[in-house]
Structure 1
Amino acid sequence: MPKPVDPVALTADLVRCPSVTPVEGGALVLLQALLSDAGFDCTRVDRGGVANLFARWGTRGANRSFGFNGHTDVVPVGDAAAWTHDPFGAEIVDGWMYGRGTTDMKSGVAAFVAAAIDFVRDTPPDGAVILTITGDEEGASVDGTVALLDWMATQGERMTHCLVGEPTCPNDMGEMMKIGRRGSMTAFVTATGVQGHSAYPHRAKNPMSALVKLLAKLEEKPLDAGSAHFDASTLAITTIDCGNPANNVIPARGTATVNIRFNDLHSGDSLSRWVQDCAQTVQHESGVQFDVRLSISGESFLTPPGDFSAMVARAVQAETGRVPVTSTSGGTSDARFVKNHCPVVEFGLVGKTMHQVDERVQVDQIGQLKTIYSRILQDYFA
């Protein structure tokens, strides 16, 4: 009888693939070969220079199709000299595996791939198991999971439910699962006035003063106090600049960037109108011209607690002894795209070291995550 797929060895193999967004690095090639050998129907769905992999075991259009979603791309290493261990070495020291992507999220991908292969081999389900794996989650995310879902729509492929394997636990394995995410919007603001001598400010029109007034107006009061399933929305000023090297010149132009993370009391459109209205008000008061460019990378969404989230929670509790808190905290993930396709929840490892120097994962938790995913598959098709 074939041996079970070792998720630790698979994680190490994936970490050794230098798949910094948008470079494929060999990670999806490795997974396609492994899944094809296990009887999965695999298709590369590449778009816009981004590599993606679709894999299905079972028949297309099955009444029940459980899906896993994840990514093999990773953020840059940064200063390699600051790492204690090779960022792409997957070295194991004192029970920890070190390397870029060990936490976010090659271990999660390895765990659900291993669980899926063993499950369909040992207990072939009445339905389909679908894996959608992208190389563009850490980048613009335009040609990653979105491309996979677009392709699935044209091919008649469908998941009835999906679990995204992103790290979800703040400190301890099993403590948290995600049933939604806040939306994210960025405003890129340019203020244009009239350059002049700082000793004669009445002859100039200072864009920086107007810009500061606009930013103060945006920060004037909280956006909300939170909602039933979401914390309060937040607004953060992330950059202010005018590129002015002189202390006696009022610049002609200044820029600022503002990021808003918003809950289900708002939409990208409603917040866009609010930011534009505030800019128009300050423009009218100051005479400084404002140009506001808005980018909405995702709307807030919620998968209401129900049978699906309860099933995932039971599996987590059975393997960890913890009942995971249902949360909508954190940044965005590709679940924001999957939610338009089917109900989606997220559960994965402890994410404390993701994107950091010496990113690492506890080796025993990789196997534990595979066991949780295996139990979810067994319960889903029971």
Structure 2
Amino acid sequence: MSGSPRQTASVVRLAQELIRRPSRGGIDDYGPVLAVLEEWLTARDLPHRRLYDDTGGLVGLLAEVAGGRPGPWWALDACMDTAPFGDEDAWSFSPVCGDVVDGWLLGRGAADSKLAASMFCHIAAELRGRADELRGGLAVLLDVDEHTGGFGGARAYLSDPAVPRPAGVMIGYPGVDEVVVGGRGLWRATVAVHAAAGHSGSSRVTVGAVSRAAHLVRLLDETELPGAEGEFPLPPKLSVTSCHGGQGFSVVPDLCELGVDVRTTPGFDARAAEALVRAAAAELDARLPAPRPTGITPVAAWPAFRLAEDEQPAAALLDAAAREGLPVRAKTAGPSNIGNLLAGEGIAATAGFGVPYEGLHGVDERAGLKDLPAVHAIYLRAVLTLLS
């Protein structure tokens, strides 16, 4: 079922045009890059529309292929916004060149995930001509609010009562050796550590907020977390990711704020993470009393998720890869991703399978094209399995 050279060339051409329209998350106007897709979809008579958030902000594009028979809908998802360029002088080519050199597609978004977006649009176009024989339908979600962490396109898609809710989603993050079937969740909080302010030269002993925060960091770092349990292969992980407090040298500060990120698992969820951090804060306040107790403000929580290899859509994608002769393994990812958001909505998701890549979120981002025909064929086979 591997794609023809002509079809592969068409996927690459569209991806090149997308790369040449910069769409850095929170920086660029997304209109131009979505316009390229809209023109392409319109030319192939594929129904599509823009997605907007509650404030009217543009957050994505949705294309749909309705089958001729009743059945569940499924979705393919690829982000159209990208990471920033970083230091452009460090790149050996322009981040928006979109060139193909020695079998690699070059530029920001080549790997994450404009090549996947192009491939998914081509799959939708292939299905359009045989829609009558399909059950349910296929949605292609192209989110331009992914790298911001807002996932506005996905949220707008799922909250629209007029749109069929998908039974499962396959996300086109790159990586040819693995199908990501799960990921750790997260619980994040800002921790406000207080103290009595004072002069750093005072003869009175003053334990400032920064010193108290350092003590809390030590307590958190020394806390023993459980190991991996059951079928979920990764243990939880706690990291203190930021520390802000004080100014200059002559004042002992009365406030220091910490950022705490806990990667959660089914056996150690958001509730357990919050309880751990609150216990450490209570211990700090007991050992080193302050005028105000340590404050904890949760800012985000996503559940961990993992599909069994015989659950859809993981089963269809793994089986399609095996039939195409491409050896892949199921993987549970350490970082969280949009699959966690979908899991929170009760929607099964795979969160990564695609072409090889280099420079993801770094300099000289590129996507390998040698395996593109096989990857394309695998996704097409998986979609046909789900819709048949």
For normalisation by structure 1, the TM-score amounts to: 0.89
RMSD: 2.4
Matched, 1:240 2:243: yes
Measure the CA separation in 1 of the matches of 2:203 and 2:334. Answer: 44
1:137 corresponds to 2:137: no
Residue type of the alignment partner of 2:12: V
| Identity of matched residues, % | 21
* AA of the residue aligned to 1:149: L
Q: Provide the residue aligned with 1:314 in structure 2.
A: 319
Instruction: Tell me the alpha carbon deviations over residues 87-135 of structure 1, each in whole angstroms, 9 at most, x when there is no partner.
Output: 1111222221111011111111111211221233267542222111211
Q: Indicate the residue corresponding to 1:273 in structure 2.
A: 275
TM-fit CA distance, 1:24: 0.9
User: Amino acid of the residue matched to residue 244 of structure 2?
Assistant: D
Moved more, 98-107 or 356-365: 356-365
**1:381 matched to which residue of 2?**
387
Aligned residue pairs: how many? 371
**How far apart are 1:140 and its partner, in Å?**
3.2
Matched residue, 2:155: 146
1:33 aligns with one of 10, 28, 39: 39
Structure with higher strand content: 2
- State the partner residue of 2:172: 165
Q: Which residue of 1 aligns with 2:330?
A: 326
Letter in structure 1 aligned against 2:225: L
Distance 2:365 2:163 in 1: 39
Partner of 2:20: 16
Partner of 1:342: 347
Q: Supply the distance in 2 between the matched residues of 1:236 and 1:55 (Cα, whole angstroms).
A: 39
The residue type paired with residue 224 of structure 2 is P
For residue 138 of structure 1, what is the amino acid of its counterpart?
Answer: H
AA matched with 1:105: S
Pick which of 193-202 and 274-283 moved more.
193-202
Match of 1:74 in 2: 82
Q: What letter matches 1:321 in structure 2?
A: L
Supply the AA of the counterpart residue of 1:235.
L
Q: Read off the aligned partner of 2:348 and give its amino acid letter.
A: P
1:80 maps to a residue whose letter is: E
Q: 1:88 to 1:225 in 2, by over 3 A?
A: same
Residues 33-76 of structure 1: per-residue CA shift (max 9 Å, x gap): 32233332212121132331121112599313231112100011
The 2-side partners of 1:64 and 1:287 are apart by 58
User: 36, 58, 83: which is aligned to 1:50?
Assistant: 58
Q: Is the 8 A contact 1:236 1:258 kept in 2?
A: yes
1:110–1:15: structure 2 CA closer, same or farther, 3 Å change rule? same
1:210 match: secondary structure: helix
Which residue does 2:288 correspond to in 1?
286
SS of match in other structure, 2:278: helix
The change in CA–CA distance for 1:330 and 1:11 in structure 2 (over 3 A counts) is farther
Report the secondary structure of 1:328's partner residue.
Answer: strand
SS in 1 for 2:213: helix
Distance 1:351 1:217, change over 3 A: farther
Does the residue aligned with 1:30 lie in a helix, a strand or coil?
A: helix
For 1:186-205, what aligned pairs fall within 5 Å after superposition?
Answer: 186-198=188-200, 200=202, 202-205=204-207
Contact 2:30 2:81 in 1 (8 A): yes
Q: Aligned in 2, Cα 1:187/1:381: closer, same or farther, shift over 3 Å? A: closer
Aligned to 2:3: none
Cα 1:353/1:318, change in 2 over 3 Å:
farther
Within-5 A mapping of 1:222-237: 222-227=224-229, 228-237=231-240
Residues 233/349 of structure 1: CA separation in 2 closer, same or farther (3 Å cut) = farther
Secondary structure of the residue aligned to 1:226 is coil
Give the SS at the match of 1:240: strand
Preserved CA contact (<8 Å) 1:7 1:370: no
**1:286-323 per-position Cα deviation (integer Å, ceiling 9, x unaligned):** 1233222222242212223314222211212333530x
What is the CA–CA distance in structure 2 between the aligned matches of 1:19 and 1:297, rounded to whole Å? 27
Gaps of 5+ in 1: none
Match of 1:85 in 2: 93
On the 8 A contact 2:67/2:131 being kept in 1, the answer is no
Contact 1:185 1:260 in 2 (8 A): yes
Match status 1:361 vs 2:379: no
Letter paired with 2:255:
R
**Runs (5+) with no aligned partner, structure 2:** 1-5
State the partner residue of 1:118: 126
The whole-number CA distance in structure 2 between the counterparts of 1:211 and 1:299 is 28
1:211-222 correspondence runs (5 A): 211-222=213-224
- Note if contact 2:69-2:133 (Cα within 8 Å) is conserved in structure 1: no
SS in 2 for 1:133: strand
Contact 1:267 1:299 in 2 (8 A): yes
3-state SS of 2:117 partner = helix
Q: Secondary structure at the match of 1:63?
A: strand
Q: What per-residue deviation string (whole Å, max 9, x for no partner) do you get for residues 133-188 of structure 1?
A: 2110111315221111101xx11512233211112x3xxx2x21111211122222
Aligned-partner residue type, residue 271 of structure 1: A
